[in-house]
């Protein structure tokens, strides 16, 4: 919960920022009319309806979600991350050393005061709900204190409605271009554009390799994130939708546009998916967070134990981050593609 009292302005090291008129091109990358190319020049980025300007690459960033933290670490910026928060999983493989020593301000949303106490000159988040009413603070609250903010474009992409309740809804499918756009944006803001280009190229190559010669058109998938009483299952158009399209399968709930609708088990039984993709979370805020807890529930519940996927043991395990729009969505594509091959759903 936010507190009304603000920390004194003297706690904040960042000077007021000068906004300029330039912005990104249509593909989400800077058009070069006013921003620097990574040499310490000022940059301006149009981000989710906010003009984000820095007069030099940030040196003290607080990342309020695991997804943005893992992008920053993948760009080799661990020396600039002074705090992180809101984690569902262990750190992405390969980033363990980079993550060592970075303070965890909270496992969930930290207070506004805790973030200010870290004295950031830049704040990032994966979700509008994190940097918005009911979250850590609004973007305007930070910006009034001279601290620019950035929110992942995956959560404000075309067709995303964050006011529709729950985790929002999408009228248009999310694509990996939004994830790649976030990488390019942050790389430009932090003055490491070549690293951003290399990271995106690596991710694109991994997707191509994972889906080469894959044909899973006969498989229907259901994605279960958490909660056993009223499960959060993936709708058509978020990160699980991007994974499903990449592997050429079908989402059992592709007629649902909510990001993570809560759907009863009787409806699941009617759809009877071929394969169940399970979120294997390490947090403890919902029931049935881990994959083991989900499998135990599925195999013992009267409404679930006769599902085809349960009887056949057709499970694929993903991290929570792979089921959210993030750099780990590529990992999700790799694991679902490999799982479908192992289950014999390819030609």
pLDDT class of 40 with cuts at 50, 70, 90: low
Token pair listed for 327: 């750099």
Same domain, 240 and 172: no
Q: What pLDDT, in 10s, does the model give residues 60-117? A: 999 999 999 999 999 999 999 999 999 989 999 999 999 999 999 998 999 999 999 9
Q: What pLDDT, in 10s, does the model give residues 246-255? A: 999 999 999 9
As a whole number of Å, the end-to-end CA separation of the chain is: 52
CA distance 193 to 68: 16
Q: Residue 329: left (phi > 0), alpha (psi -120 to 50), or beta?
A: alpha
Same domain, 80 and 193: yes
Q: Which of 174, 205, 236 is the last residue of a domain?
A: 205
Same domain, 194 and 235: no
What is the domain range of residue 95? 11-23+37-205
257 in a structural domain = yes
4 in a structural domain = no
Same domain, 86 and 221: no
Same domain, 284 and 227: yes
Hey, how many other C-beta atoms are within 10 angstroms of the C-beta on 32?
Answer: 10
Q: Which of 205, 228, 248 is the last residue of a domain?
A: 205
**Residue 1 reports pLDDT greater than 60:** no
The pLDDT of residue 2 is 28
The pLDDT of residue 41 is 80
**Residue 194 reports pLDDT greater than 80:** yes
The predicted model gives 133-140 an average pLDDT of 96
Same domain, 309 and 240: yes
Q: What pLDDT, in 10s, does the model give residues 305-330? A: 999 999 999 999 999 999 999 999 99
The pLDDT of residue 39 is 52
Please state, rounded to an integer, the average pLDDT across all residues of the chain.
89
The pLDDT of residue 284 is 86
- What is residue 126's DSSP assignment? S
The pLDDT of residue 33 is 31
The pLDDT of residue 283 is 87
Rounded to 5 degrees, φ, ψ at 323 are -95, -5
CATH for 119: 3.40.50.1980
**What's the total number of domains in the chain?**
2
The pLDDT of residue 213 is 86
5 in a structural domain = no
2 in a structural domain = no
pLDDT class of 24 with cuts at 50, 70, 90: very low
Same domain, 249 and 159: no
**Residue 265 reports pLDDT greater than 50:** yes
**Residue 27 reports pLDDT greater than 70:** no
The pLDDT of residue 165 is 87
Same domain, 56 and 186: yes
Of residues 215, 216, 233, the one with CA closest to residue 224: 233
6 in a structural domain = no
254 in a structural domain = yes
Of residues 153, 98, 143, the one with CA closest to residue 121: 143
Same domain, 149 and 229: no
Q: Which of 205, 236, 252 is the last residue of a domain?
A: 205
Helix (H) or strand (E) holding 250: strand 250-251
Higher pLDDT, 268 or 21: 268
CA distance 177 to 157: 10
Same domain, 180 and 278: no
The pLDDT of residue 34 is 33
The predicted model gives 256-268 an average pLDDT of 97
299 in a structural domain = yes
**What residue has token string 């009911």?**
134
Same domain, 182 and 81: yes
Q: For residue 106, what are the contacts with CB-CB under 8 A and spacing of at least 6? A: 85, 86, 114
- What is residue 176's DSSP assignment? H
The pLDDT of residue 285 is 86
347 in a structural domain = no
Same domain, 231 and 88: no
The pLDDT of residue 120 is 98
């Amino acid at each position: 919960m936010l507190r009304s009292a603000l920390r004194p302005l003297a706690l904040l090291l960042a000077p007021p920022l000068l906004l300029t008129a330039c912005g990104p091109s249509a593909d989400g990358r800077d058009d070069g009319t006013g921003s620097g190319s990574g040499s310490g020049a000022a940059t301006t980025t149009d981000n989710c309806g906010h003009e984000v300007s820095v007069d030099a690459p940030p040196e003290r960033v607080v990342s309020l979600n695991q997804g943005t933290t893992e992008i920053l670490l993948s760009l080799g910026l661990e020396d600039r991350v002074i705090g992180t928060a809101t984690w569902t999983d262990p750190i992405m493989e390969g980033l363990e050393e980079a993550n060592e020593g970075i303070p965890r301000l909270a496992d969930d949303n930290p207070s506004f005061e805790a973030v200010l106490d870290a004295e950031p000159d830049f704040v990032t988040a994966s979700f509008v709900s994190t940097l918005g009413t009911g979250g850590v603070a609004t973007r305007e609250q930070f910006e009034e204190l001279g601290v620019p903010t950035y929110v992942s474009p995956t959560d404000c992409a075309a067709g995303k409605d964050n006011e529709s309740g729950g985790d929002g809804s999408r009228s248009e499918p999310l694509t990996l271009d939004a994830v790649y756009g976030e990488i390019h944006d942050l790389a430009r803001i932090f003055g490491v554009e070549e690293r951003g280009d290399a990271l995106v190229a690596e991710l694109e190559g991994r997707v191509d390799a994972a889906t080469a010669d894959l044909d899973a058109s006969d498989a229907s998938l259901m994605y279960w994130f958490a909660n056993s009483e009223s499960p959060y299952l993936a709708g058509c158009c978020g990160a699980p939708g991007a994974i499903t399209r990449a592997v050429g399968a079908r989402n059992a709930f592709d007629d649902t546009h909510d990001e993570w609708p809560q759907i009863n088990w009787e409806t699941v039984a009617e759809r009877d998916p071929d394969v169940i993709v399970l979120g294997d979370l390490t947090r403890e805020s919902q029931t049935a967070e881990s994959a083991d807890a989900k499998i135990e529930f599925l195999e013992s519940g009267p409404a679930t134990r006769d599902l085809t996927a349960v009887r056949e043991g057709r499970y694929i395990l993903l991290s929570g981050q792979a089921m959210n729009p993030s750099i780990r969505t590529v990992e999700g594509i790799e694991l679902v593609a490999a799982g479908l091959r192992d289950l014999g759903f390819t030609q």
